[in-house]
Structure 1
Amino acid sequence: MSAQELDQQLAQFRSSFEVGGLHGALGFLNSRTCYRYTAIYRLDGQMMRNIHLYDRLGENPTHLSEIPLGDSFCQFVMKDSGFHTANSGEDKRLFDHAYRGIVNSYFGLPLSRKPGTIYGTLCHFDFEPMAISEDEIPLLEAVSAELMAHLD
Structure 2
Amino acid sequence: MTPPQFHAMLQAEGLSPAMEALNRGVPHRYTGVFQVIESQLINVFLYDKQHQIRPEALAVVALDNSFCQFVLRDGSLLVDNSMHDERLLASSFRGVVVAYHGVPVTDHRGGLYGTLCHFDLVEQGLASAQFELLQAAGGLLYPYLPHGDGRVQNAPQFARTAAG
Scaled by the length of structure 2, the TM-score of the pair is 0.80
- Contact in 2 for aligned 1:53/1:60 (Cα 8 Å): no
Residues matched between the structures, number: 144
- Give the one of 106, 109, 125 matched to 2:103: 109
Residue 22 (str. 1) matches residue 22 (str. 2): no
3-state SS in 2 of match to 1:128: coil
Deviation at residue 105 of structure 1 after TM alignment: 0.5
Matched residues, percent identical? 33
**Is the CA contact 1:54–1:60 (under 8 Å) kept in the aligned structure 2?**
no
In proportion to residue count, which structure has more helix?
Answer: 1
Aligned amino acid, residue 124 of structure 2? M
Higher RCO (CA 8 Å, separation ≥ 6 residues): 2
Structure 1 position 60 matched with structure 2 position 70: no
| Counterparts of 1:145 and 1:83, CA distance in 2 | 16
User: What corresponds to 2:28 in structure 1?
Assistant: 35
State the Cα distance separating 1:15 from its structure 2 match.
4.1
| CA distance in 2 between partners of 1:100 and 1:143 (Å) | 25
Instruction: State the Cα distance separating 1:95 from its structure 2 match.
Output: 2.4
| SS at 2:138 equivalent | helix
Q: For 1:29-69, what per-residue CA distance to the aligned partner results, in whole angstroms no more than 9, with x for missing partners?
A: 10000001001100011110011100111113241211111
The question of 1:48 aligning with 2:70 is answered: no
Show structure 1 runs of 5+ residues with no match.
1-7
Match of 1:4 in 2: none
Q: 1:95 aligns with which of 89, 93, 98?
A: 89
Counterpart CA distance in 2 for 1:137 and 1:25 is 16
Letter of the aligned partner of 1:144 in structure 2? Answer: G
Q: Which runs of 5+ in 2 are unaligned?
A: 148-164
Contact 1:33 1:132 in 2 (8 A): yes
The secondary structure found in structure 1 opposite 2:124 is coil
What is the aligned-residue RMSD (CA, Å)?
Answer: 1.6
Q: Please report the TM-score for the alignment, with normalisation by the length of structure 1.
A: 0.86
Q: 1:20 to 1:54 in 2, by over 3 A?
A: farther
Q: Deviations over 1:112-151 (max 9, x none)?
A: 2234x42100111111011111111221222211111222
Q: Supply the distance in 2 between the matched residues of 1:84 and 1:122 (Cα, whole angstroms).
A: 12
SS in 1 for 2:41: strand
